Amino acid sequence: MEMLNQATEKLKGVDIKTETEKGKHRREPCPPLDTYEPEEWMLETFKQESKQLLHLAIVGHVDAGKSTLMGRLLHILGQVSKKEMHKYEREAKQSGKGSFSYAWVLDESSEERARGITMTVAVAQFETPKFHIVVLDSPGHKDFVPNMISGASQADAAVLVIDACTGAFEAGMEGEGQGVGQTKEHTQLVRSFGVEQLVVAVNKMDAVEYSEDRFNAIKTSLRPFLKHCGFKESGIRWIPLSAMENENLVTQPVNGQMLWYRGPTLLQALDSLEPPVRNVAKPFRLPIAEIFKSRTLGQAVVSGKVEGGAVKIGSKVLVMPSGVSATVKGIEQNGKTCTFVRAGDNADVGLQGVDPACLLQGGVLCHPDYPLPAASLLEVKVLLLETSGPLLRGSQVIIHCHHAKEPAKITKLVSLLDQKGQAIPNKKLRCLLANQRAVIEVKPERGICLEEYSRYKALGRISLRDAGKTLAVGIVTRIIEYE
């Protein structure tokens, strides 16, 4: 019996992937991306676009009111029927969480509702005069930052929700004990994903009696930090509001105490954002965010944001890291079927000819001629955040890239960079300290599918975390070894 157990143990150590080697697409080095020529149908309808698509990540410290704000907004804009809203209100009151009724529009699982927090990124959609907005409601709790990274990596712009209550804003900035609050951590992560536009929604203004002083105090406190992260003043919009009282969300504020505010409402601010650039001219890449089964799309459905290129029903795609070929059986966007999706669209893609076990969160669907193999040794350029402890050669971290996350080891500290980004020569690098910039080599435990930043921006951004803190953010400069 003992031997049987030991034998099963040893079997479990065998990598099943080696069995599928024979049926796999041969791993050739990917040809340079500029040789890719997009097909006619991909660009054609580009001009006929009715509304631009915008991915909006909602981030902020825990209990700032992100889900409630979005739930309220969706309700006002008619995305939630009266009947549904009534149901949420009733159920929320029953479980003693009356104030969470709007948040329940987005927090659907029983766990989330029972605990009153968001755990995974909820996706919802609504329309503004200019955009069709895909909302990515992130968890604010520090344990779920990996999920927040997964969601926010798809974002084109972000809404940072701040709790205006005395003490709450400070907690968001300082955090409890060591480390920063999620206000800071989320902002840094969101900036590292390349987001340049930020709407700062100062929520719960009703609790501070819509005080202009409090709003300005928060603004003064936050502004230098945002600048330090790299946000330009022109990319930030400051909106005071109250989700519970429905002030300044869609209509101009009616409450007498808020007459000092003459700026745009939240909806107007969202509408004034710049549309993102669409990479249709690059080969198809879709980082897999979720895998599930659906009645309409079959047993193997992946969902995520198309970062580049386009696919239509019948297109052949390659599933990485397993290397298996599949065909697109069906495509759905927000529950509606469509025939094709292009860069920037968030879609659910049903695949044919692939075993659902080959699909992994963190994998990537790509163009068959431009495969994206898993990298096992990377050279990255990073910026260590202020809360990071020293990083040595051999330190264990968790590396996050789009939806993938793997434990990894820092194998080499290559060079330290000065303010301008030039390598400081002759500096024997023993360890890295907070706020330093450096080039290091990282070896993940298993291969991660990613691209060098210069080739494909969305797939080249990484963050390093450990012990519940984000240690560093950076970009992949070179892939040294493939798996």
| Site of interaction with another protein (CB under 8 A) | 5-6, 9-10, 12-13, 108-109, 111-112, 115, 119-120, 122-123, 141, 143-144, 146, 290-295, 303, 359-361, 389-390, 392-396, 398, 407, 409, 430-431, 433-434, 466-469
Closest of 108, 53, 16, 32 to residue 334, by C-alpha: 53
* The token pair that represents 63 in the structure block: 């209990």
Closest CB 31 distance from another protein, rounded Å: 31
The interaxial angle of helices 182-192 and 145-152, nearest 10 deg, is: 30
Please tell me the distance from the alpha carbon of residue 399 to that of residue 459, in angstroms, as a whole number.
13
CB of 29 to another protein, least distance (A): 29
**Closer Cβ to another protein, 81 or 272, answer by number:** 81
> How many whole angstroms separate alpha carbon 74 and alpha carbon 126?
7
Q: Which residue has tokens 């022109």? A: 234
Cβ at position 394, least distance to another protein in Å? 3
Q: Give ∠ CA 338-323-297 in degrees, rounded to 5.
A: 25
Between 51 and 293, name the residue whose CB sits nearer to another protein: 293
Task: Please state the three-class secondary structure of 97-158 as a single string.
Answer: CHHHCCHHHCCCCHHHHHHCCCCCCEEEEEECCCEEEEEEECCCCHHHHHHHHHHHCCCCEE
Cβ closer to another protein: 136 or 473?
136
AA identity, residue 388: S
Q: Rank residues 120 and 192 by Cβ distance to another protein and give the closer one.
A: 120
d(CA 483, CA 343): 28
Q: What is the smallest separation between the CB atom of 359 and another protein, expressed in angstroms?
A: 7
Q: For another protein, give the closer residue by CB, 4 or 40.
A: 4
> Where is 293: in which H helix or E strand?
strand 290-294
**Among residues 277 and 392, whose Cβ is nearest to another protein?**
392
324's tokens: 């298996």
Q: Smaller CB distance to another protein: residue 96 or 394? A: 394
Provide the minimum distance between the beta carbon of 295 and another protein in the complex, in angstroms, as a whole number: 7
Distance in angstroms (rounded) separating the CA atoms of residues 293 and 467: 33
Cβ 209 to another protein, closest distance in Å? Answer: 36
CA pair distance 21, 208, nearest whole angstrom: 62
Pick the closer one to another protein by CB: 361 or 376. 361
Q: C-beta of 425: minimal distance to another protein in Å?
A: 20
Q: How far is the CB of 272 from another protein (least distance, A)?
A: 29
Beta bridge partners of 431: 392
What distance, in Å, lies between the first and last C-alpha atoms of the chain? 37
